Structures are given as structure tokens and as C-alpha cells.
């Protein structure tokens, strides 16, 4: 009887080990596929080196709007610079992002000032990290992927504590391999923002992606913000452009 019990226990443990191993392999395969998909998403949203023109609209609960037009340049997965083209009060202001480090340049103030990812140079719901978004693969790792017929759901975890959002839930359009919605969470699991990607547009040069990004937040009820891409195109950019000394001259790069 004792021998049979030991034999049954060994069989039971073997089954558990096989099941755990299978689940681990399946999970790892899913994560590898998710990371590959995330790289495709980054390239579909933007070339590795590009310029873009966009309008950001802040909308208050009473319907009041404030609009900004920004010209942006990005290179690799850790460099981005923007400059304001309107309104008149903002012309000449520029922002620079190098990895997780950010600066704001204001004409006649002197040297650039350090800013953080959760602050916003335009007010409203879009923070500096949203405005100067780097590749998702540079900031996040896939920890889970769920398949659906029309969409995939990716769960992303921040690689460092310096990232604006600790975790993202990203719904992905399978056809275009671009996000349709992203929920942004804190380390405690609190939902702080939802990003909606809308209106797929062909920008040329193989870039076919959402042209409108909308956001709202349960922390700022009634407030909304919209980012509209008028143009996005590949462009070769010198590293000199992404330096503190060049921030006052970024506006001159627009063709």
C-alpha cells in the first residue's frame, strides 16, 4: 500500500512538473511574440529617424480650448526635440529629451531648465512623456499577451522607475499593427490615463498609422486633450541637433 502511494505521488508530481514546464514554455513563446510585435508597432508609428508636425488641443470641461502647434524631430530610441510654432506666446520655446532626461528652453530666460516626464509644458492632460514619446521597446518589456480575432492585448511593464507610467495595457489592431487604446497605470495599479488612437492615415514613405491621439483621465474629469498629426516623414538628423546648445535653433530646421 505504501509503495502504491509513493508511486501515485511520483506520477502526480511528474504531471505537475510537465504542466508547469508547458505553461512556462507557452508563456515565454507568447512574450517573445509580444516583444516582436511591439518592435513592429514602434516602426509603424514612426521611422527610426523622423520629423513631424502636429497640433495639440487642450479642452476644458466648459468647452474652452487652447491650441498648440509643434514641430518635432526624433532619432533612434532615445532622442527627441520639439519646438513651438504657435501660439505666438510660445514661439521659440523648445523641449529636448535624451533618454529619461528632459529640458525646456524659453527664449530670453537663459539656459535650458530641467523638467520631468509627468509635468506638462502645455498644461492639460498630455504630459511631457506623451508629447516626447520614445519607442515603447525602449521603455517597456512585454509581460503578457492575449490574442483575439481582431485585436491583441499587450501588458507592458516599465524597465525602470523613471518611466512616466509603471504599466500599460495596449490594445493592438492586428491589421495595421498599431495601438487602438492604451491604459496607463501607476505602480500601485491605479488607472491615471487612457489614450485613444484614431483615424488611420497614409503619410507616405510606408507610414500608415493613427493620425489622431485623444486622451482623458479619471483624475481630471471633464478635461480632454487631442493630438493631431499633420505630417510625419523620415529625415536624417545630425546628433548635434539633440544638444542643449542647439535648442534655440531647432525652429530653423523646418523645411
Tell me if 67 sits within 8 A of 235, measured CB to CB: no
Residue 22: pLDDT band (50, 70, 90) is very low
Tens digit of pLDDT for each residue in 182-236? 999 999 999 999 999 999 999 999 899 999 999 999 999 999 999 999 999 999 9
CATH number 3.30.1330.80 given to 41-253: no
pLDDT at 34: 85
**Can you give the pTM of this predicted structure?**
0.85
Domain ranges of the chain: 41-253
pLDDT at 59: 97
Amino acid at each position: 500500500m505504501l509503495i502504491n502511494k509513493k508511486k501515485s505521488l511520483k506520477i502526480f508530481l511528474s504531471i505537475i512538473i510537465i504542466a508547469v514546464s508547458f505553461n512556462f514554455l507557452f508563456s515565454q513563446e507568447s512574450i517573445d511574440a509580444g516583444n516582436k510585435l511591439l518592435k513592429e508597432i514602434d516602426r509603424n508609428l514612426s521611422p527610426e529617424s523622423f520629423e513631424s508636425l502636429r497640433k495639440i488641443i487642450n479642452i476644458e470641461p466648459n468647452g474652452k480650448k487652447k491650441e498648440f502647434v509643434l514641430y518635432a524631430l526624433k532619432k533612434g530610441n532615445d532622442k527627441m526635440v520639439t519646438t513651438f510654432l504657435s501660439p505666438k506666446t510660445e514661439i521659440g520655446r523648445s523641449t529636448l529629451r535624451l533618454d529619461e532626461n528632459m529640458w525646456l528652453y524659453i527664449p530670453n530666460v537663459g539656459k535650458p531648465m530641467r523638467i520631468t516626464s509627468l509635468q506638462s509644458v502645455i498644461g492639460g492632460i498630455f504630459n511631457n512623456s506623451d508629447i516626447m514619446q520614445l519607442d515603447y521597446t525602449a521603455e517597456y518589456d512585454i509581460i503578457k499577451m492575449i490574442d483575439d480575432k481582431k485585436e491583441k492585448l499587450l501588458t507592458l511593464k516599465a524597465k525602470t522607475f523613471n518611466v512616466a507610467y509603471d504599466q500599460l495595457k495596449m490594445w493592438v489592431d492586428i491589421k495595421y499593427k498599431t495601438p487602438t487604446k492604451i491604459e496607463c497605470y501607476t505602480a500601485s495599479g491605479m488607472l491615471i490615463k487612457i489614450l485613444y488612437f484614431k483615424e488611420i492615415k497614409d503619410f507616405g514613405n510606408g507610414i500608415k498609422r493613427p493620425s489622431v491621439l485623444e486622451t482623458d483621465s479619471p483624475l481630471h474629469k471633464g478635461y480632454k486633450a487631442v493630438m493631431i498629426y499633420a505630417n510625419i516623414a523620415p529625415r536624417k538628423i545630425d546628433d548635434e541637433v539633440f544638444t542643449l546648445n542647439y535648442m534655440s535653433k531647432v525652429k530653423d530646421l523646418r523645411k
